[in-house]
Chains A and B, each alone.
Chain A
């Protein structure tokens, strides 16, 4: 199984709502990532989890709260978002080892988020 799955595929939420994005992989990867992608721009890194611990937070506002409950799951909890947070949110995973090919990241299909 070389697939990263993300749910939901689409999400529309108001600025006062609380919602969560979910990501799952069963490749034994111990590094997982959240990226944000706005139209016509490349994905931008938000968070990195390594062995289920948050290792990188790219100065993301606190209205985005990541969680890694186990080695296969990664969540992104959303609260009090702004319309400018509307974007495609991509999850990815990879091995943690340092050697070349092992470091490629496998991306999920993304969640298209619209904040009204």
Chain B
């Protein structure tokens, strides 16, 4: 899937504040949406794989929602902590077989103490 857009490109948030960012993608031929967290000097780590319209997933203080009809997903972080500082990548995915991922450019999140 092409034309994956993530916004904002970068984000500075005070420790303790909550934040959210967006992944937009074409709604046609949609199968699943992946969210990954990528910390400096580490491997990208899967956060969520979402498939159903209206789906909401949660992992600790991080949650995500999915709207396949309008082609967007939000990632929310509640009560940001310094360890949340990372680049958050989304990758919409079409097809059910083994396909590689086309990532958006990511949102670079910096949590300021």
Contacts and interface: CB of A to CB of B under 8 A. Distances in A.
A43 B32 CA distance: 18
Contacts of A96: 97-98
* Chain B, interface SS category: loop
B45 A107 contact: yes
Contacts, number: 61
Interface in A4-30: 4, 30
A94 interface: yes
A89 interface: no
Given A100-B32, A103-B32, A50 B97 contact: yes
Interface residues of B, number: 23
A105 B101 contact: yes
A48 B34 contact: no
Contact of B46 (A42, A98, A104): A104
A4 B99 CA distance: 18
B89 interface: yes
Interface in A69-116: 90, 94, 96, 98, 100-101, 103-110
Given A35-B100, A94-B98, A100 B43 contact: no
Contacts of B105: 41-42
B106 A42 contact: yes
Looking at A30, A96, A98, A103, which has the most chain B CB atoms within 10 Å of its CB?
A103
6 contacts: A42-B103, A43-B44, A100-B49, A103-B32, A103-B49, A104-B34
In the complex, the 7 A-B pairs of residues with the closest C-beta atoms, listed nearest first: A98-B96, A45-B100, A31-B98, A42-B103, A104-B46, A50-B98, A107-B43
Interface of A: 4, 30-31, 33, 35, 41-45, 47-50, 55-56, 58, 90, 94, 96, 98, 100-101, 103-110
